Amino acid sequence: MDIGFVGLGAMGLPMTRHLVDAGHHVTVASRSRGPIDAAVEAGAVEGDGPRGVVEASQVTILCVPNSPEVAECVDAALPVLGPGKTIVDTSTIDPDVERTQHERVTATGAAYLEAPLSGGTVGAQKGTLTLMVGGDAAVLDGVRPALEPFAGLIVHVGGPGMGQVVKLCNNLIYAAQMLATAEATVMATKAGADAHQLFEVLTHATGDCVAVRTRLPVEGVVPDSPASNDWAPGFMTDLMAKDLDLAIQYAAKSRTPLFTSGVVRQILGAASEAGYGREDFSALAKVIRQLAGQ
């Protein structure tokens, strides 16, 4: 299959490599030169920006940081869209903005899906990402070969915008987990508890969760955790803050109460101000540590 990929960041580049390894012809574009060179070295072909990528491809996958960039990609693609082409947006953006892109693309006769991702850079590298797909189920059936090489699970969750709603709900829970994990860990270690023993208990008790298992914010306890690897991002603080902003805005429009998300967002903001914006979002624990005098 001729597949296009726009956005070769920490997620997009390994996803592209999986597509090449699966035998697809992949045309790429990105804002930075280095990732393009890495993708070409892996077997992809450089396209002439988003428009050139869409023109060369049956299915084009977008993986960009925010709503305006998705809209910009669609702007560039519109002149070359039509029957036989599909755009799949794997970015995390505002659900209402996403619905607008569905309308703009399908008006040309082309197809559109949203498929925001969960699993972080580790999932992208391993090809085990979870995709929350919004749009026409029949379109999804037709483009599965373009998604399966980097996916561990693909779930059709509803019509346009619903993939984004489900993704934002997932991140609300994950962010709350991380703050609770950070607070509990700081309280325990300040009291003198052994962090290795704390981890053993939590992973076999009712406090068990993904944040504990993958992001316990104590150096050396979980070997693959950001804390044990100089807070290298699986998911950056600034990106989690962006996703919480999207969730809070969408909840306000839908008149849905959110309580914990506002608190977590403030801590993420403090982490960014402290210089941890490009570190993993578990670095919010460093703010808790400082407040606790650790």
The catalytic site residues sit at 167
In sequence order, the 6+-apart residues with CB closer than 8 A to the CB of 20 are: 26, 39, 42, 43, 44
Contact 116, 151 (CB under 8 A): no
Alpha carbons 13 and 7: distance in angstroms, whole number: 8
Eight-class DSSP state of 159: S
- Report CA torsion sign: 205, 202, 237, 14: negative
* Lookup result for tokens 């990528």: 53
Alpha carbons 158 and 253: distance in angstroms, whole number: 20
Rounded alpha-carbon distances, angstroms, from residue 199 to 36, 146, 202, 204, 207: 40, 39, 5, 9, 10
Pair type for strands 129-135 and 111-114: antiparallel
How far is C-alpha 141 from the geometric centre of its chain's CA atoms? 22
Alpha carbons 16 and 13: distance in angstroms, whole number: 5
In sequence order, the 6+-apart residues with CB closer than 8 A to the CB of 51 are: 76, 77, 79, 80
Backbone phi, then psi, for 189, in 5-degree steps? -70, -35
Q: Which two tokens stand for residue 282?
A: 């578990």
Greatest alpha-carbon pair distance for the chain in Å reads 64
